[in-house]
């Protein structure tokens, strides 16, 4: 089924100039880029985006990391995009991520792990409109 997922090139990867390589990989893997923008997230936006993790010990650090530099927000589309993108990202901890995944290639730690991806259709339904209005998504 044709699906959309939210991808974020996180501040560590933007800072290290990996955004272009990551977008090129998305195109190479058959994703269509339906929306794209670079943003500096506010603390409130980052806290709201990762609200499911509010009680986790790493929440404060995660929010600080996510507002520490610009991110690239992307809506990707493909058959089974959500699962396909999670597979391409690799495990949360880059040290445990499969070879050739984005986190293995570009991540530096369990927190600074280069990319985000929606993890279910419900999450994607929350995350895509969190950053994009319908007019910003090009069908």
Instruction: Check residue 119 for interaction with ligand ATP (CB under 6 A).
Output: yes
In the complex with ligand ATP, which residue's Cβ is closer, 53 or 87?
A: 53
Q: Which of 21, 32, 33, 62 binds ligand ATP (CB under 6 A)?
A: 62
Main-chain dihedrals φ then ψ at residue 124, nearest 5 degrees: -60, -35
Task: State yes or no: is 116 an active-site residue.
Answer: yes
Q: Which helix (H) or strand (E) holds 115?
A: strand 115-117
Return d(Cα 97, Cα 104) in angstroms, integer: 5
| Dihedral sign from CA coordinates of 103, 105, 108, 109 | positive
Instruction: Check residue 130 for interaction with ligand ATP (CB under 6 A).
Output: no
Instruction: Check residue 92 for interaction with ligand ATP (CB under 6 A).
Output: yes
In the complex with ligand ATP, which residue's Cβ is closer, 35 or 114?
A: 114
List the beta bridge partners of residue 117.
7
Binding footprint of ligand ATP on the chain (CB under 6 A): 53, 58, 62, 92, 110-111, 113, 116-117, 119
């Amino acid at each position: 089924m044709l699906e959309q997922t939210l991808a974020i090139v996180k501040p560590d990867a933007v800072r290290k100039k990996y955004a272009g390589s990551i977008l090129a990989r998305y195109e190479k893997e058959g994703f269509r880029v339906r929306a794209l923008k670079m943003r500096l997230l506010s603390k409130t936006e980052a806290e709201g985006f990762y609200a499911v993790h509010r009680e986790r010990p790493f929440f404060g650090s995660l929010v600080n990391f996510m507002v520490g530099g610009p991110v690239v927000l992307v809506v990707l589309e493909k058959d089974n995009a959500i699962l396909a993108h999670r597979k391409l990202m690799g495990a949360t901890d880059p040290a445990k991520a499969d070879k050739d995944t984005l986190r293995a290639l570009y991540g530096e730690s369990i927190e600074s792990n280069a990319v985000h991806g929606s993890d279910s259709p419900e999450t994607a339904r929350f995350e895509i409109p969190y950053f994009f209005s319908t007019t910003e998504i090009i069908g």
